[in-house]
């Protein structure tokens, strides 16, 4: 079967050489004090520049946005300078790269936050989840409900982060509104119990998201901005919603007015099964979206070919396969075997399991 996966495409104003995208992959290798990635990250991203588009690992927009040990930031000049080296390396190899903007909200621990502060959240609803700290996995700390000043400050942090992304030379940014983190916490009626203009009906619960998008697109053109959702993946980071189909129908209808570069949609997680009603909801929401659609959900080559050839998806985001196979597009195109992966090196550590996976042409 011929596949469009290897054909060029344009999302917004970003031209890409193929439709095999590298999904965000948290690797926990930044300096935990400065949130700056090590120099070996330059090689890590350079190695994977054959992807049509690289979406970076989730990157916190502020010290209060941090939720995991050794995750990178994009809120200081020093962090921005290191990201610029990474962007330049990807561009030298002919690749395109966007940064994923991240605030974890309640999925954090006081030991990770300035002055051992309590995590910020739309409401003081503790997550029945764990996060990764210097001591290993620990229960998430009790969050504090954000004041309206906190909300305004956080939106300003998004704007500053985007300005830093422009300085670093990124081809665009992705607003992370999925996986149970801060933006999705505002969207869910189970984690957002506010009674002000940011709580209640979906119009109010989505206000935070759209104010962020207004701030982001006020700095970077909308055709360089993407967004990530995971509405039907219930339970991730203890995030659930009563009527996700109804909520995201409203959100996507409004989102269509923004003319964003793309929507990155997590349909399901690896090896997870969706209920029939959830699969139906994914189809309905896909049809609502007018723009470039990046599908994410444990796709293999056959599934990806069918999705792109049929027009259901415009591109496919591959996650874990890119860890062990820096030359993933070439391996998919030639039918070559994948490198065996080493799951014990996924998170944290040094170059082992990070930059030492061989390319097909060198084996």
| Residue 271: predicted pLDDT | 61
| Residue 205: predicted pLDDT | 98
Q: Is the pLDDT of residue 291 over 60?
A: yes
Q: Is the pLDDT of residue 1 over 70?
A: no
d(CA 90, CA 84): 10
What's the distance, CA 213 to chain centroid? 15
pLDDT: which is higher, 73 or 269 = 73
Q: What is the pTM of this model?
A: 0.97
Phi, psi of 303 (to 5 degrees): -60, -40
11: domain CATH number is: 3.20.20.70
Task: Given the residues 181, 248, 293, 357, select the one marked as catalytic.
Answer: 181
Q: Is the pLDDT of residue 275 over 90?
A: no
Mean per-residue pLDDT over the chain, rounded = 96
Q: Is the pLDDT of residue 332 over 80?
A: yes
pLDDT tens-digit profile of 30-48?
A: 999 999 999 999 999 999 9
Residue 347 annotated to the active site: no
Phi, psi of 143 (to 5 degrees): -85, 165
Residue 123, token pair as written in the block: 């409401």
| Residue 363: predicted pLDDT | 46
C-alpha count within 13 angstroms, C-beta hemisphere, residue 284: 16
Question: In whole angstroms, how far apart are CA 201 and each of 66, 117, 197, 218, 262?
Answer: 28, 30, 9, 26, 26
Q: Is the pLDDT of residue 91 over 90?
A: yes
pLDDT tens-digit profile of 103-157?
A: 999 999 999 999 999 999 999 999 999 999 999 999 999 999 999 999 999 999 9
Mean pLDDT of the region 286-298: 97
Residue-number span of the structural domain to which 55 is assigned: 4-362
Mean pLDDT of the region 310-321: 97
Domain count, the chain: 1
Q: Is the pLDDT of residue 255 over 60?
A: yes
């Amino acid at each position: 079967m011929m596949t469009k996966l290897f054909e060029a495409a344009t999302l917004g104003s970003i031209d890409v050489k193929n439709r095999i995208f590298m999904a965000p992959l948290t690797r926990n290798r930044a300096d935990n004090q400065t949130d700056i990635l090590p120099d070996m990250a330059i090689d890590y991203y350079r190695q994977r520049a054959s992807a049509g588009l690289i979406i970076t690992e989730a990157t916190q927009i502020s010290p209060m946005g941090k939720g995991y040990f050794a995750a990178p930031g994009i809120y200081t000049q020093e962090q921005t300078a290191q990201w610029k080296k990474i962007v330049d390396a990807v561009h030298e190899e002919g690749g395109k790269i966007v940064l994923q903007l991240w605030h974890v909200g309640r999925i954090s621990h006081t030991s990770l936050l300035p002055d051992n502060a309590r995590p910020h959240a739309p409401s003081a609803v503790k997550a029945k989840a764990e996060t990764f700290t210097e001591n290993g996995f620990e229960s998430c700390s009790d969050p504090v409900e954000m004041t309206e000043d906190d909300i305004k400050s956080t939106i300003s942090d998004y704007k500053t982060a985007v300005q830093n992304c422009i300085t670093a030379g990124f081809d665009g940014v992705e607003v992370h509104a999925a996986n149970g983190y801060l933006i999705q916490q505002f969207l869910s009626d189970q984690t957002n119990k506010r009674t002000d203009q940011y709580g209640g009906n979906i119009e109010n619960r989505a206000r935070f998201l759209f104010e962020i998008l207004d701030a982001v697109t006020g700095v970077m053109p909308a055709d360089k901005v993407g967004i990530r959702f995971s509405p039907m993946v219930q339970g991730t980071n203890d995030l659930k919603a009563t009527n996700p189909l109804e909520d995201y129908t409203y959100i996507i209808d409004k989102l269509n007015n923004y003319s964003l570069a793309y929507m990155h949609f997590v349909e399901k997680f690896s090896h997870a099964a969706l209920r029939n009603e959830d699969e139906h909801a994914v189809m309905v929401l896909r049809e609502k979206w007018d723009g470039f659609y990046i599908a994410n959900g444990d796709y293999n080559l056959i599934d990806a070919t069918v999705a792109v050839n049929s027009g259901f998806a415009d591109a496919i985001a591959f996650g874990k396969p890119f860890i062990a196979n820096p030359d993933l597009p070439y391996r998919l195109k030639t039918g070559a075997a994948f490198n065996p992966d080493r799951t014990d090196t996924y998170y944290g550590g040094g170059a082992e399991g990070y930059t030492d996976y061989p390319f097909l042409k060198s084996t």
